Amino acid sequence: MKLTQENIQQLDKRLQVSGIKYLDVRVELIDHLVTEYEAMDNAQDWNLFVKNRLPWCKKVMKDKSKTTHWSYQRSLWKTFFEILKETRVLFGIIFFIGLMFFIRPWLTDGQYFMALILPMLTFLIWQIALMVKNGLGKEKRNSCISAKYLFNIFALPNLILYLLNLLLQLNRDLVLNQFFIIPYVIFGSLLGLAAIRLFKKKRDVVIAEYNKLVQYSL
């Protein structure tokens, strides 16, 4: 039995009322339920079908939140290496290296360290802003990515920054060695940029799929 667009929109609202907030989860559930229902030879009442399947939907949501998505990490590394191929990024790296060597004689160790990690801190603040907006926003565009996905793509860049702070306490001389700290910061910064790009790409894909499936305008 072919469902109408109104049926699909009603399903979307039922899922929202049931506590399934994020679009990426709802898109998967809507697509599955619609396909399942339309493939039935003797389809039961649509509203009854949805009511009976809601417990399963909630279970899927919980299982999804507990699953570690290693594919997200693979996507993160793929995006990282794509960024390395960009000409403007390579010029930016060269400029950063030259600047850090140039300003070193005029700064104290503390000032130099802060200047070095500024790019990493910038991307960290950007990531936090995206997470807060995505988690607290009421508009569909601001609640399109599940918290689990955000954790998976932002965890590694933040771990790089945490390890740097740990290394500073264990071996200050190593951290302030330009031939160690500059490549480390470049690596951490590009990984942070890759995470942000991956998030935005995922968000755009989810919104496009949602619009196509439910035909709402975000």
Q: Is the pTM of this model over 0.85?
A: no
> Nearest 5 degrees, angle CA 75-CA 149-CA 154?
70
Measure the CA–CA gap between 149 and 79, rounded to whole angstroms.
Answer: 16
Asked whether residue 129 falls in the same domain as residue 56, the answer is: no
76 in any annotated domain: yes
Residue 77 has pLDDT above 60, yes or no: yes
Q: Give the pLDDT band (50/70/90) at residue 9.
A: confident
Q: Tell me which residue range forms the domain holding 174.
A: 70-212
For 163, the token pair is 């390890």
Asked whether residue 43 falls in the same domain as residue 84, the answer is: no
The arithmetic mean of pLDDT across residues 116-120, rounded, is: 90
DSSP state letter for 18: T
23 close to 143: Cβ distance less than 8 angstroms = yes
Asked whether residue 104 falls in the same domain as residue 206, the answer is: yes
218 in any annotated domain: no
217 in any annotated domain: no
Asked whether residue 128 falls in the same domain as residue 193, the answer is: yes
181 in any annotated domain: yes
Half-sphere exposure of 160 (CA within 13 A, CB side): 23
Q: In total, how many domains does the chain have? A: 2
Asked whether residue 208 falls in the same domain as residue 108, the answer is: yes
41 in any annotated domain: yes
Token pair 């609640």 in the structure block, residue: 143
Weakest mean pLDDT among 118-122, 128-132, 179-183:
128-132
Q: Give the pLDDT band (50/70/90) at residue 67.
A: low
Contacts 24+ apart (CB under 8 A), 39-43: 40/1, 43/1
pLDDT at 218: 44
Asked whether residue 36 falls in the same domain as residue 119, the answer is: no
Asked whether residue 24 falls in the same domain as residue 106, the answer is: no
Asked whether residue 9 falls in the same domain as residue 106, the answer is: no
126 close to 199: Cβ distance less than 8 angstroms = no
pLDDT at 124: 86
Asked whether residue 15 falls in the same domain as residue 116, the answer is: no
Token pair 């039935």 in the structure block, residue: 40
187 contact partners, CB below 8 Å, separation of at least 6 = 160
Measure the CA–CA gap between 205 and 23, rounded to whole angstroms.
Answer: 11
Asked whether residue 59 falls in the same domain as residue 74, the answer is: no
24 close to 146: Cβ distance less than 8 angstroms = yes
27 close to 209: Cβ distance less than 8 angstroms = yes
